[in-house]
Amino acid sequence: MTDTDICNMALSNIGKGVIENMEEGVENARACKLFYDPTRREVLRSFPWGFAHRIERLAVVDVNVPGWDFAYGYPDKCLMIRNVVSDASGADRVYERFDVVNIGSSTKVVVTNGEQCYADYTWDVSDPELMDVIFLQGFAHLLASKLAMRLTGNPQQAQNEYQLYRAAISQAQLQDAREMEPHTMFESSYIAARRGWRHG
């Protein structure tokens, strides 16, 4: 499965044929290129998908933000931080209140009152091979709903595709939730297995 395959699934859903790739100089390809990445990120942000789940120790940055004790660098390719924890070693973990603020014109930092924090976040997955099959179906329907208005001008077709997206993504969320292990997200053994870390 490739990004072009997903585009062609979406185009097929609205009866608009296929493209060779998103760099083609045709309207269908230009529309796919315009909507593909924003739509992918929208669906990824909509739920804490297991395949897009990352846990990472945050790096302290030397920034003073009033009202907060610590500031940490925002993780690379992070779409949404779900939790911040100040101690990931089992029973001692503390879920911290946090915020994400902009420093200057383009730098985001995570601010909290916890020390030595970890972030649980949704990663910006771009490789379709890493995505769940039902997720991909929902993604293609949402992409089709956006393409429909531009390529067909048919609001009913766009609405139909959006409803199909909602149905597919609900099924994908239910399936994904069944694979999650509650209350073990920040266990030290879990982190070690996922990231290869060792606690001293």
CATH number at 119 reads 2.40.30
> What pLDDT score does 107 carry?
87
Q: Assess whether 74 and 133 both reside in one domain.
A: no
Within a domain: 139: yes
Are both 59 and 108 inside the same structural domain?
A: yes
Residue 26 structural domain: 3-48+125-178
**pLDDT of 84:** 96
Q: Within this chain, do residues 74 and 30 fall inside the same structural domain, yes or no?
A: no
Domain co-membership, 115 together with 64? yes
Whether residues 111 and 34 fall in one domain: no
For residue 152, the model assigns a pLDDT of: 95
pLDDT at residue 104 in the model: 81
> Considering its fold, how many domains does the chain have in total?
2
Q: Which of 170, 161, 131 is nearest to 53 (CA)?
A: 131
44 and 59 together in one domain: no
Low-confidence ranges of the chain (pLDDT < 50): 183-200
- What is the Cα–Cα distance from 198 to 200, expressed in whole angstroms? 6
Residue 200, domain member (yes or no): no
Assess whether 118 and 130 both reside in one domain. Answer: no
CB count within 10 Å of CB 126 equals 13
Q: What is the pLDDT of residues 102-112, one digit of tens each?
A: 988 778 999 99
Q: Is 186 left (phi over 0), alpha (psi -120 to 50) or beta?
A: alpha
Confidence (pTM): 0.85
**Among positive and negative, which fits the CA dihedral 21, 26, 32, 34?**
positive
Residue 179 confidence (pLDDT): 73
